[in-house]
Amino acid sequence: MKKNQVHLGVNIDHIATLRQVRGGTTDYPSLLEHAQAALKAGASQITIHLREDRRHIQLKDLIDLSKKKIPLNLEMALTKEMEVLALKYKPAWICVVPEKRQELTTEGGLDIVKMSRRLQPMIQRIKKKKIKVSLFIDPSLKQVNKSHDMGAHAVEFHTGKWVRSRGAEKAREWQNLYEAAVLAHELGLRVHAGHGLDFNTAKEICHLPHLQEVNIGHSIVCYALEQGLFSAVQKMKRQLI
pLDDT of residue 100: 63
- Residue 192: closest CA among 239, 149, 133, 233: 133
Least confident range from 16-25, 121-130, 178-187, 224-233: namely 16-25
What is the domain range of residue 50?
A: 7-239
DSSP E strand stretches across 70-160: 72-76, 93-96, 132-137, 154-158
Residue 47 lies in a domain: yes
- Known catalytic membership, residue 14: no
Residue 1 lies in a domain: no
pLDDT band at 1 (very low <50, low <70, confident <90, very high): very low
pLDDT of residue 48: 98
Q: Please compute the mean of the pLDDT values over residues 179-187 and round it to a whole number.
A: 98
pLDDT band at 190 (very low <50, low <70, confident <90, very high): very high
Side chain identity at residue 25, one-letter code: T
Q: Please compute the mean of the pLDDT values over residues 155-172 and round it to a whole number.
A: 97
Given a cut of 70, whether residue 2 has pLDDT beyond it is no
Residue 156 lies in a domain: yes
Given a cut of 70, whether residue 214 has pLDDT beyond it is yes
Whole-model pTM: value is: 0.94
As a whole number, the mean pLDDT across the chain is 94
DSSP code of residue 5: P
Residue 235 lies in a domain: yes
Q: How many residues does the chain have?
A: 241
**Number of structural domains in the chain:** 1
Least confident range from 3-17, 111-125, 200-214: namely 3-17
DSSP E strand stretches across the chain: 7-11, 45-49, 72-76, 93-96, 132-137, 154-158, 190-194, 211-216
pLDDT of residue 107: 66
**Vertex 26: Cα angle to 20 and 29 (nearest 5):** 75
Higher-confidence position of 105 and 95: 95
Rounded to 5 degrees, φ, ψ at 124 are -65, -40
Q: Please compute the mean of the pLDDT values over residues 90-100 and round it to a whole number.
A: 92
Which CATH number do you get for residue 84? 3.20.20.70
Given a cut of 80, whether residue 7 has pLDDT beyond it is yes
pLDDT of residue 237: 97
Quickly count: other Cβ atoms within 10 Å of residue 62's Cβ. Answer: 21
From CA 29, how far away is CA 70, in angstroms rounded?
17
Residue 112's contacts (CB-CB under 8 Å, 6 or more residues apart) are: 119, 135, 137, 143, 146, 147, 150
Q: Which of 14, 75, 148, 213 is catalytic?
A: 75
Residue 162 lies in a domain: yes
Report whether 97 contacts 111 (CB < 8 A). no
Given a cut of 70, whether residue 203 has pLDDT beyond it is yes
Report whether 153 contacts 189 (CB < 8 A). yes
Residue 2 lies in a domain: no
Q: Which of 7, 173, 195, 213 is catalytic?
A: 195
pLDDT per position as a tens digit, 20-67:
999 888 999 999 999 999 999 999 999 999 999 999 999 999 999 999
Q: Please compute the mean of the pLDDT values over residues 117-135 and round it to a whole number.
A: 97
Q: Which of 14, 49, 153, 192 is catalytic?
A: 49
Residue 15 lies in a domain: yes
- Known catalytic membership, residue 56: no
- Known catalytic membership, residue 195: yes
DSSP code of residue 84: H
